[in-house]
Amino acid sequence: MFRAAIVEAAARSCGSKVAGASRGGNPRTRWWTPEVKGAVKLKKETYRSWLACGTPEAADSYRQAKQSAARVVTEAKTRVWEEFGEAMEQDFQSAPKKFWQTVRRLRRGKRNPVHTVFGVGGELLTSTESIVRPRSLLVYINPYGGKRQGRRVYEQKVAPLFHRAHISADVIVTERANHARDHLKTEAELDKYDGVVCVGGDGMFSEILHGLVTRTQADSGVDQDQPDAELVPCSLHIGIIPAGSTDCICFATVGTNDPVTSALHIIVGDSQPMDVCSVHHNNSFLRYSVSLLGYGFYGDVLSDSERNRWQGPARYDLSGVKTFLSHNYYEGTVSFLPAESNKGDPRDELKLNGKPVCLVCSQQGSVLKEYNFRHGSRGWKVIHGKFLAINAANMSCACPRSPKGLSPSAHLADGNTDLILVRKCSRLDFFRHLLRHTNKDDQFDHSFVEVHRVRRFRFQPRHHELASLEDLSEGLKKSGFSPICVTQTTCNYSTTHSSWTCDGEILPHADIQVSVHRQLIRLFARGIEEEQQQQRSVFEDLGPHLALEPSLHWTVD
């Protein structure tokens, strides 16, 4: 009786969310007043006007309309919550203190919504459609990655937070390479989990990605070997607890490589959609990529570093210097399908992927099968030349050493990748280009560098494809160390092939075709936030979500 009465009072005061209410005539929630409706409508109209003309005046109008809409919505929601509190106080004066603490924190949180509110008996007081906080997780720990601290990081920093948040976790410590991938593909009972968490580096995340995406496509009857296949988005969220050598993906989606911060994002149920690239060779699936596909310089660095794994993370620095001095270039043909005009430009000064709501990524646009997998050659562009590096950045690829990343304005979920072509140039010019990755200068502001935002692309090396990666390795062994040109400003040395690096793994073929699948997965993250937001206390920011005090005393389920 008490439970039913609470839900009844909440429905009377706040209303209930109805699926499809914006398209049907069904009643909206109580805060959806005519004033709110008008403000949101004006915001949409000014946004369309901005996209159409692109003038500074249109941008200012949209910015003002957006701020006005946010203010009106906040005021409407605040009024509704106050009415809710008054109704609860009038009808249930003996309501438990725990429930009232939740209501007060909701009202104090202003624009920060709480997605779930539970009563004393464990009943859900909010709509089931709003549930985002995970209750059960499948955790994979890589005990060998980075500095071999994965197990300690989880047990000492993450597990206590999960316990206080009443999140159950099934933990699996991997025993070999691809252990997590194989377990997800065949053995894991995914129906009983709300998400999958990996404790490790980018390699561990790649295992989770391939296992989860492959399992989803197999269950849906999708053939991954077909480059034009429309892949089915994964239903489970993926969480990353950084404990590897680079942790590039975690840094680019959260803004820091801190295990506690990542754990809090998982606990509150933050959701960040992310694009995934599928890589094929001759209609045969190779791998998925979410961060960097690199040919030439980065491919050579990784290939050389694999022969020196005993050096640990320092091997990347040594291989980088060695590859830079070698200054190899590679000839080939790049074909790509440009992004739609409303998807922005890789050289945009305004970075939207780090904001709470990215305008580009949130656009509905065309569905995947309509624009990601279009047959034929219409709209394709072809570039032939000699390249020092060919990079496809699905995200900014930011890391502590390169705070802006390879492509600072890359979006996480817009259905495109930024294709960066570095043509043959002098060693000094190439050094200047690399140096700009570590400062605030525009790394694309060189005559030998061009960048394109694309939906798909292909690369065909000049010479015939080698039979396998082993053939490439044999060729490099026979030729010895690449010569270093001293007297010439531009090195004239060229090998037949480089190799592609795909999120830290070497691909066996140089001739590849790449397709971007929009928002194929979702992470427990929210993107890199504004500086003023980062300066706020993390507990102040997350308090309304978790009812979390600075002392880490939990008062809400």
Q: Which two tokens stand for residue 179?
A: 């252990």
Phi, psi of 346 (to 5 degrees): -60, -20
CA-CA distance, 443 to 434, in Å (whole number)?
8
Instruction: Judge residue 181's burial from the number of C-beta atoms within 10 Å of its C-beta, 0-12 exposed, 13-18 middle, 19 or more buried.
Output: buried
Phi, psi of 248 (to 5 degrees): -65, -45
CA-CA distance, 132 to 272, in Å (whole number)?
12
Instruction: Let me know the angle formed at the C-alpha of 290 by 287 and 295, rounded to the nearest 5 degrees.
Output: 65
CA-CA distance, 15 to 535, in Å (whole number)?
36
Q: What is each CA distance from 445 to 158, 419, 478, 511, in whole angstroms?
A: 42, 15, 38, 28
Q: By C-alpha distance, which of 231, 211, 206 is closest to 220?
A: 231
Phi, psi of 340 (to 5 degrees): -65, 155
DSSP secondary structure string, 481-508?
Answer: SPP--SS-SS---B-S---EEETTEE-S
345 an active-site residue?
Answer: no
Strands 136-141 and 195-200: parallel
Helix, strand, or coil (residue 190): helix
CA-CA distance, 198 to 329, in Å (whole number)?
37
Q: Which two tokens stand for residue 46?
A: 């000014």
CB 337 within 8 Å of CB 514: no
DSSP secondary structure string, 422-466?
Answer: EES--HHHHHHHHHGGGSSS-TT-STTEEEEEEEEEEEEESSPPP
Q: Which two tokens stand for residue 472?
A: 């490439």
CA-CA distance, 256 to 407, in Å (whole number)?
18
Maximum CA pair distance of the chain? Answer: 89
Q: Which two tokens stand for residue 372?
A: 């990601």
The residue type at 107: R
CB 440 within 8 Å of CB 457: no
CA-CA distance, 299 to 306, in Å (whole number)?
11
CA-CA distance, 409 to 402, in Å (whole number)?
14
Q: Which two tokens stand for residue 172?
A: 């699996």
Q: By C-alpha distance, which of 306, 300, 267 is closest to 430?
A: 300
CB proximity list for 162: less than 8 A, separation 6 or greater: 137, 169, 263, 267
Q: Which two tokens stand for residue 31?
A: 């805060």
Catalytic residue among 202, 270, 304, 503: 202
How many residues comprise the chain?
557
Q: Which residues are catalytic?
A: 202
